[in-house]
């Protein structure tokens, strides 16, 4: 089964011929032609990558892999945090008798506070707010 291949005759400098002779064997190519073809494809792909607005597949795959690791780590941390939060809320509600209407009011306040601070709440802020509320009324 013969393949249709274009024949290309070219001249090269002696240094290039030495590199070809050395590296085609090191790259486990069966022939110099195979090595030259691989080299041309590699160089053409590199040129195409420079002119492309998308990332090369290898880089995109590496980024996707790192993002997947980050996503898995963040999901694990959020899960653990949610378990701890659920435990704290359960203990608090067992020790304090709170009406459901009070919970709805506090939820509305909390939603407003989180929106106002863009999710960057700190205990010190809440303490100051509570102290100010006590002094005012």
pTM of full prediction above 0.75: no
* More reliable by pLDDT, 134 or 21: 21
H helical segments located in the chain: 14-26, 32-51, 57-95, 100-117, 123-136
> Mean pLDDT, to the nearest integer, of 65-71?
96
Two structure tokens written together for 123? 């205990």
Q: What are phi and psi of 105, to 5 degrees?
A: -65, -45
pLDDT in tens, 110-133: 888 888 887 777 788 778 878 887
Closest by CA position to 46, among listed 60, 56, 61 = 56
* More reliable by pLDDT, 1 or 125: 125
Alpha-carbon span 18 to 22, nearest angstrom: 6
- Of the pLDDT bands very low, low, confident and very high (cuts 50, 70, 90), residue 73 is very high
């Amino acid at each position: 089964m013969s393949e249709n291949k274009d024949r290309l005759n070219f001249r090269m400098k002696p240094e290039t011929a030495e590199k070809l002779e050395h590296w085609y064997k090191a790259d486990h190519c069966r022939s110099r032609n195979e090595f030259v073809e691989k080299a041309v494809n590699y160089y053409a792909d590199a040129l195409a990558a420079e002119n492309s607005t998308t990332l090369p597949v290898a880089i995109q795959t590496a980024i996707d892999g790192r993002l997947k690791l980050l996503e898995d780590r963040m999901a694990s941390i959020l899960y653990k945090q949610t378990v701890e939060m659920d435990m704290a809320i359960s203990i608090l509600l067992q020790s304090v008798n709170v009406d459901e209407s009070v919970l709805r009011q506090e939820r509305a306040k909390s939603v407003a506070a989180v929106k106002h601070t863009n999710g960057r709440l700190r205990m010190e802020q809440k303490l100051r707010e509570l102290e100010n509320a006590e002094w005012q009324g």
